[in-house]
Amino acid sequence: MSIQYLVKKAHENAVNKGWYEEPRSFGDVIALTHAELSEALEDYRDGRGLKEIYYEGQKPCGIPIELADTLLRIFDFCGHVGIDLEGALAEKMAYNESRPHKHGGKVI
């Protein structure tokens, strides 16, 4: 599956589930995306394994699921506003390959 396909499918699903019946600001989208990463951190802090998927009823949970949720939020937004995420990823990865070892010299 291509990134473009996943972007399209994530956005179609969000529309079909009613998530575009009311407008969201860019800040809302960023906060919701950040919330998914925070949920992954909370699973880690609760001692869950990095690859562990567990279930609450039928709902899959865990760090891999929260990371997937993060991507789905990003894919959905890109589909909504027409961002070519696949192209942006390719461009950024090519640039990163050109950077020196441990560029920037920052700690963490």
Predicted pLDDT of residue 107:
76
Length of the chain: 108
Dihedral (CA of 41, 47, 51, 52) sign:
negative
What rounded mean pLDDT belongs to the chain?
Answer: 96
Q: How do 59-61 and 54-56 pair as beta strands?
A: antiparallel
In tens, the pLDDT along 82-93 reads 999 999 999 999
Q: Determine the residue type at 69.
A: D
Asked if 14 contacts 20 with a C-beta cutoff of 8 angstroms, the reply is yes
In tens, the pLDDT along 58-82 reads 999 999 999 999 999 999 999 999 9
Quickly state the pLDDT bin for 106 (edges 50, 70, 90).
Answer: confident
Nearest to 68 by CA among 43, 88, 91: 43
